[in-house]
Structure 1
């Protein structure tokens, strides 16, 4: 009799163990994921994902609006371990709806009923696109040039607003003067043959507004120039830059120069973009900038936008577009700050050598390259007329000069515009500051 009871206990323990540990009786409920930020415009479907290791037996999607429940989807059967569907919401007048998802798996747990999961999300209904208007802008923009824009963007659920140039260059808006108004400097990248700019505003429900910025085109003619490369340059400059950057030096002179001019230049321009693409201020009420004159009494040796073909022993071996102007005076000439600003970089940047970058608000930066000496450091606030550096021949150059650049949110623009006080006043300062009259008090 005792042996019989032992056998019965073993059988019971085995059965309990089987139920408890068998995959057939797994105890984890299905996992429900709804891709939602709490808003809907009733146009775009919601992504629903249901997963379970044992498989899904049935699920139901119910919409509750103004206290009325409506089943949107109901499925049952052998539905697999993963379900991914788009939930199309019906048109409703309610300002808020609730979405309820119930799912049951194929487990034999709970007396063969399976594990159940339930998830609810509340969605604010917003079917109105943001109010996006162009308040004021520069009359024209040149290829490789700059412009100013003031806009209005209003929406209770605004997610993002920006200016998009040629559908790929994004410019941040800075809050300006009064609520819902913004200002920005924008650029026409010199590599782009055409120009198109739009104000884009998107709310959390996915509604989008686009307003075209009516800027006329002004064509600048940038020359094509041949630059003759010598063995002296390759040995004393190109190789030096590669070694300092811990980049393998090829054996062939042509490959050495190409690696410096193409690969290193790309790395350097990416670094400069990262140093000059930010807009730091939270709001502006006005904008003032004087003409830039970093090297008074200097001669211009090379211009912005030059299409440079590099020639070695009679062969065209490489190409680049010059992203600044070269100014020369005397060796180690004093470089002056023309405007108030803050130093954001003072470092060696490959072919640009010792490079100083100053921020002047509204995404505007000035760059001073090939310098021999810095007179300021990162974090310093500079004033007009202050000596900030001295010219030199550091980086990928042989002669002492200043490479001067202007950048707007990471994009190099024609510095000649910013050397012209009349252009600055007409195209930038007046556009931004006179917008106050259009906005009103």
Structure 2
């Protein structure tokens, strides 16, 4: 055999060997793709996600199809065709895995009919098995679908709420509700169960001071499948006019107040510029502490820890009121604007500060613009804040009583002189303490609607005997 013939013989043998190996590879792949529902479910609703993983370790995926079948009608949710491989390819650029995430009933073409549906997922590979059809895999999952939202029934009569003020609503909510409460603008005030009363839930809520009075107050509920119910509450909103004040900011004030705050707050950098330092403290740090207070409220105890009206700092005079609109001037120019959310109360230097009501101390530390600060949790998202303290007389985790000394007034943080900055917050939203200092308001706007949500109007005049008590509520009649 000459060299040329030998060359052709070897080439032919190589081709034959490759064809045999290709046939063996494609005919020999008898393993179908593996289909996995990453998050299996037997119930579905408007927002239920389908998370799918398909894998083929052999010749690679050729096709994946996801369908819903209901009442003998089939609806294709997804169909993926993968690039064909060369008949002579062994593996090559085959797709060996596929991941899919979708929300089946987010598609408007899928009918929203209650009842049972079957989820059908099929996949096949590029094997030559089954007369070149490939290996098929198929899974079916029966799913109960639900598009009925939770049921809500408002029981308490709508009472006026002021901008910056608070209120309460009692209602019934169906058992399928996973989350429920009041939504005003972007803020959600969660509901709490009350199986011992004639109503199944209640929500304390606040109307933020800076929202238009026309902002709807919505009672909302969502189930675990994404079904949503909402009902607008006919709550009259009282428009408030806030005072305006001009605050002159000097380098001396910044040096005395801002630099110590930066020194105590590692996440704030000294910019070596008085105005820039002031602005990052008055803006960036103020926003950060606001977010921290909201997070703190999320861990509030689901019980009434407070008893009756809150008390103002004894013998104190008001130096600044709730929601005063402050315009800060530096070098004769307006450099910032903020709302003063709380009351500045002053007596004498280092005056003993009393707890405004019963509760548990959840924060006792240096706290940004507020300096030395104590926060007391009163339950159900209601918390009081005591800022600019010169010293602490209570520690985190301590249970305190109304009138108990918890610290002394001071001028730590962003304070021009010795005083107590006192705030009340509901789910992290600042509210007007004046309401909660008023025993009549507490009784008619909070206590009575929880005792008797079906009462149409507040009881006229004062009552005899103990007043303003919330916890424990008397048994249902």
Band of TM-score, shorter chain: 0.7 to 0.9
Relative distance call for 1:201 and 1:15 in structure 2 (3 A) is same
Please show how residues 210-221 of structure 1 align to structure 2 within 5 Å. Answer: 210-221=230-241
Matches of 2:368 and 2:78 in 1, distance apart?
62
Q: 1:415 aligns with which of 433, 441, 463?
A: 433
Which residue number in structure 1 is paired with residue 269 of structure 2? 248
| Correspondence for 2:148 | 128
**Is residue 405 from structure 1 mapped to residue 423 from structure 2 by the alignment?**
yes
Query: 2:33 is paired with a residue of what secondary structure?
Result: coil
CA gap 1:62/1:329 in 2 versus in 1, 3 angstroms: closer
Deviation of 1:201 after TM superposition, in Å, equals: 1.5
Unaligned segments of structure 1, at least 5 residues: 1-9
Q: Does 1:158 align with 2:177?
A: yes
Structure 2 counterparts to residues 188-337 of structure 1, below 5 A: 188-194=207-213, 195-246=215-266, 247-281=268-302, 289-337=307-355
User: How large is the RMSD of aligned CA atoms in angstroms?
Assistant: 3.6
Q: Secondary structure at the match of 1:225?
A: strand
1:38 matched to 2:42: yes
Q: Matched residue of 1:128: which SS?
A: coil
Pair 1:56 & 2:74 matched: no
Kindly indicate whether the alpha-carbon contact (under 8 Å) linking 2:322 and 2:432 is maintained by their aligned counterparts in 1: yes
- In structure 2, the residue corresponding to 1:430 is in which secondary structure? helix
**Aligned partners of 1:74, 1:214: CA distance in 2, in Å?**
42
Q: 2:409 matched to which residue of 1?
A: 391
Taking the aligned partners of 1:327 and 1:188, their CA distance within structure 2 comes to 24
How far the C-alpha of 1:26 sits from its partner, in A, is 9.6
Say which of 11, 15, 33 aligns to 1:29.
33
SS in structure 2 at match of 1:326: strand
Deviates more, 1:255-264 or 1:76-85: 76-85
Greater share of strand = 1
- Distance in 1 (CA, whole Å) between partners of 2:80 and 2:236 is 62
* Aligned residue pairs, count: 423
1:185 to 204, 216, 226: 204
Q: Distance in 1 between matches of 2:309 and 2:412?
A: 26
The equivalent residue for 2:10 is none
Distance change >3 Å, CA 334–CA 12, structure 1 → 2: farther
Q: 1:352 aligns with which of 358, 370, 386?
A: 370
Residue aligned with 1:275, SS: helix
Name the counterpart of 2:139: 119
CA distance in 2 between partners of 1:44 and 1:273 (Å): 27
Q: Deviations over 1:80-119 (max 9, x none)?
A: 56677757655767x4443232222334468854343333
Match of 2:156, SS state, is strand
In structure 1, the partner of 2:89 is none
- TM-score normalized with structure 1 length: 0.83
Contact 1:355 1:367 in 2 (8 A): yes
Match of 2:314, SS?
coil
The match for 1:7 is none
SS at match of 2:164: coil
**Does 1:435 find its partner at 2:441?**
no
1:266 positional shift = 1.4
1:379 has 2:397 as partner: yes
1:340 to 342, 347, 358: 358
1:101 aligns to 2:107 (yes or no): no
**Distance in 2 separating the partners of 1:105 and 1:254:** 67
Work out whether residues 362 and 376 of structure 2, in 8 Å CA contact, stay in contact via their aligned partners in 1. Answer: yes
Corresponding position of 1:426: 444
Pair 1:241–1:73, CA change in 2 (3 A): closer
TM-score if structure 2 supplies the norm length? 0.78
The 1-side partners of 2:438 and 2:298 are apart by 23
1:354–1:395 Cα contact (<8 Å) kept: yes
Structure 2: gaps spanning 5 or more residues: 1-13, 84-94, 457-474
Which 10-residue stretch deviates more, 197-206 or 415-424?
197-206
Kept in 2: contact 1:58–1:74 (CA 8 A): no
